[in-house]
Amino acid sequence: MGVSTSVPDEGVAVVTVDFPPVNALAVQGWYDLAAAVRAAGADPKVRCVVLTAAGRGFNAGVDIKEIRRTAGHDALIGANRGCYDAFAAVYDCEVPVVAAVHGFCLGGGVGLVGNADAIVASDDATFGLPELDRGALGAATHLARLVPQHLMRTLYYTSRTVTAEELHRHGSVWRVVPRAELTAAALGLAREIAAKDGQLIRLAKAAINGIDPVDVRRSYRFEQGFTFEANLSGVADRVRGTFGTGGRTGRGDALGTDRKERT
Q: What is the spatial distance between Cα 251 and Cα 248, in angstroms, rounded to a whole number?
A: 9
In this predicted structure, what is the pLDDT of residue 244? Answer: 57
Stated length of the chain: 263
What's the average pLDDT block by block, 10 residues per block, for the chain (263 residues)? 96 98 96 98 98 97 85 87 97 98 98 98 98 90 98 97 98 98 98 98 98 96 91 86 51 35 34
* Residue 256, C-beta contacts closer than 8 angstroms, at least 6 positions apart: none
pLDDT for 232 equals 87
Specify the CATH number of the domain 2-181+189-240: 3.90.226.10
* pLDDT score recorded for residue 100: 98
Angle (nearest 5°) at CA 91 between 87 and 94: 130
pLDDT at residue 72, as a whole number: 80
**Long-range pairs of 190-194 with CB within 8 A, sequence gap ≥ 24:** 190/9, 190/12, 190/48, 190/49, 190/50, 190/98, 191/9, 191/11, 191/12, 191/48, 193/47, 193/48, 193/95, 193/96, 193/98, 193/118, 194/9, 194/10, 194/11, 194/12, 194/46, 194/47, 194/48
Give me the residue spans of the domains in the chain.
2-181+189-240
> What distance lies between CA 142 and its chain's CA centroid?
8
Residue 87 near residue 69 (C-beta atoms within 8 A): no
- Provide Rg for the chain, Cα atoms: 17
- Residues 208, 215: Cα–Cα separation, whole Å: 12
